[in-house]
Amino acid sequence: MRKKVIAGNWKMNKLPNEAMEFISELAPLVKDTENEVVICVPYTDLFYALMHAQDTKIKIGAQNMNAEEKGAYTGEISGEMLKAIGVEYVIIGHSERRAYYNETDESVNKKLKKALLLELKPIVCVGESLEQRENGTAKEVVTAQTRLALEEVSNEEVIKTIIAYEPIWAIGTGKTATKEDANETIKWIREEIENIYGKDIADSVVIQYGGSVKSSNAKELFEMSDIDGGLVGGASLDAQEFAKIVNYK
């Protein structure tokens, strides 16, 4: 049985005091959930969030990392740095990073391997554009992104990797993929993992849906056979709303 992982992606939002207030509000609301609850916060909030989330169900993640250990990379943060302060999760290859910061399948693969080596829990994002959905190449695009992200990732490591299927056209737009389309696309991703690693492993990999998830659509999405929770942007900024998504049942 795969666990549902509900992860918030705050993007470039919230100051440390706001992060701590959010955690104080969210913690009692999610204390009885069986789902994994994660919030991926800006770098500057990480330490405050980690301290504040101690002894709660809330796990803390970063939104990116550099694949190098250290060196002359002005403005960058390494996986080692995240690990050293106790960060547990890291988002890799979000479509905004692919679009605005030149992340490629190759850099995603490099970061993923490094995160796994450091025992950070990676959430790797894949997803097609509207044009690709409309011209019928979505399957090709998401399976290729999945395959390239997982190059040289071992059987033991892939089980620890979370994939987030996020159609680019559904991110921050209020447009959600239908539950059937989201489930079908996640099945394509799972089949691709099966082609590489076999069925048992494919069946155990957590694959989330992301793109305008909110409390009003979480239940129908998360109850689909292959959707193992969600990566939630806008709706994760409000503790009450995010708690409803975590407690979707």
| Min CB(30)–ligand PGA separation in Å | 18
Residue pair 226/188 in contact (Cβ under 8 Å)? The answer is: no
Catalytic residue flag (residue 166): yes
| Min CB(236)–ligand PGA separation in Å | 7
| Min CB(174)–ligand PGA separation in Å | 8
Nearer to ligand PGA, 46 or 171 (CB): 171
For ligand PGA, the nearest residue by Cβ is 233
Nearer to ligand PGA, 172 or 198 (CB): 172
Q: Catalytic pick from 36, 52, 94, 192? A: 94
**Contact residues: ligand PGA, CB under 6 A:** 9, 166, 171-172, 210-213, 231-235
Catalytic residue flag (residue 94): yes
Nearer to ligand PGA, 46 or 237 (CB): 237
| Min CB(156)–ligand PGA separation in Å | 27
Q: Catalytic pick from 36, 96, 128, 166? A: 166
Nearer to ligand PGA, 87 or 164 (CB): 164
| Min CB(8)–ligand PGA separation in Å | 9
Q: Distances from the Cα of 120 to the Cαs of 28, 60, 78, 239, in angstroms?
A: 26, 11, 12, 25
Nearer to ligand PGA, 146 or 212 (CB): 212
Chain centroid offset of residue 103 CA: 16
**Which residues are catalytic, by number?**
94, 166
